[in-house]
Amino acid sequence: MRTGSFEDYIRLSFDLININTQCNHAVFQRMLRALALIASQVVALERKTVLREQAVLVLDFTGQTLKTDYEKQCVQDLYGELRSTWL
């Protein structure tokens, strides 16, 4: 029996939320915080890369779905604050 990879688990955990979180900046912010928390516990560089990719996806969905510049800026600011955790 094959177990899923770290990347598979992260994608499974965050992709559907990303797709279904349209127009809710608070959920996008919580997702970034969750990714940062996971990243703070991860040592392997390839895992941090997976987390960074998910954070970028959050930013992409933010730009695509949030209606106001204020909401977009709030998420972008938080990304900037947390960015070092997955680098």
Question: Which residues, 6 or more positions from 72, have their beta carbon under 8 angstroms from its beta carbon?
Answer: 25, 62, 63, 66
**Residue 27 burial (10 A CB sphere; 0-12, 13-18, 19+):** middle
Please check whether residue 6 lies inside any domain of the structure. no
How far is residue 80's CA from residue 73's CA, in Å, rounded to a whole number?
10
**What tens digit of pLDDT does each residue of 17-64 get?**
877 777 889 999 999 999 999 999 999 999 999 999 999 999 999 999
Crossing angle of the two packed helices 6-20 and 25-41, in degrees rounded to 10? 170
**Residue 4 burial (10 A CB sphere; 0-12, 13-18, 19+):** exposed
Domain that residue 73 falls in? 23-86
- Number of domains observed in the structure of the chain: 1
Please check whether residue 2 lies inside any domain of the structure. no
pLDDT at 48: 95
